[in-house]
Structures are given as structure tokens and as C-alpha cells.
Amino acid sequence: MSEADDNIQYRQLNGIVLAYLGDAVYEVYIRRHLIDEGIARPNQLQRFATKYVSAKAQAGLIDLMKQDGILSDEEAYFFKRGRNAKSYTHAKNTSVVTYRISTGFEALFGFLSLSGQDKRLDELAKWCIDQVDAGRVEYER
């Protein structure tokens, strides 16, 4: 399969499918960050991970990305595809709006992963971690 074929395939995927992958991709970055920070107890890992991966945190990160102007037009497009996609799951512990924005956040990460933009994925994940660590994002569920 050529690179152009790969390009067409991920561009045709539903925003929810992109979010499905993006959730896992972002989670790996967070887990690695926490382990690198020396957090080794499973209950601590889960508790600290919430700061980064909750729907509220992800929605806050998208707001900061918009404020700081760090998304390209293409990245904003894939965020919107995820945000606007019809989902059959319900928000837990958060508003529907926050849940949909966080789905868009995850779709963005799914898009970057499937399109092979590993350097950009690394940059964006590091930026997100830095924003949370700096206290710029609320995370409570």
C-alpha cells in the first residue's frame, strides 16, 4: 500500500474511530511520563493520570491550544471532526459539551498517529504535559 493510500484511509475514518486510537496514544504518553517521574504504585498512577486524561483536562488543553494558536488548520479540522462526530456513548461525570470536546482532542491524537506525524505527536504530547504540570488546566472529573 502506498503512502497516498494510507493518507486516504485515515482521512475517511469516522472521528470516533480516530478518537478511539487517540485515547490510547495519549494515554501511553501520560503513563510513560508518570513512570519517568518515578510514580510506581498502581493506585498513584491512576490518580495522577486523571490530571492529564480526564475529559475536563483534555477540553481545557484544547482551549489552551486555541488561545496559544498552536494547532494547524489541518489539526483543527480533525479536532472538529472528532468533536462533531455522532457518539453513542454518554458522558460520565462531565457535561456532554466537555465530553465532545475531549473526543475531539483524542481524534486529533488519533489523526497525528495514523498520519505518521510522530514528531508533531511528541511535540503536542509534551506541550500538553507541560501545561498540566504548570497548573494551567483544571482536571477534576
Q: Which residues are catalytic?
A: 23
Name residue 102's amino acid: S
Euclidean distance between CA atoms 98 and 36, whole angstroms = 29
Nearest to 65 by CA among 1, 128, 139, 133: 128
Spatial CB neighbours of 123, under 8 Å, sequence gap ≥ 6: none
Question: Phi/psi at 90 (nearest 5 deg)?
Answer: -110, 150
Euclidean distance between CA atoms 83 and 3, whole angstroms = 27
The neighbour count for residue 123, using CB atoms within 10 Å, is 13
Nearest to 102 by CA among 139, 48, 49: 139
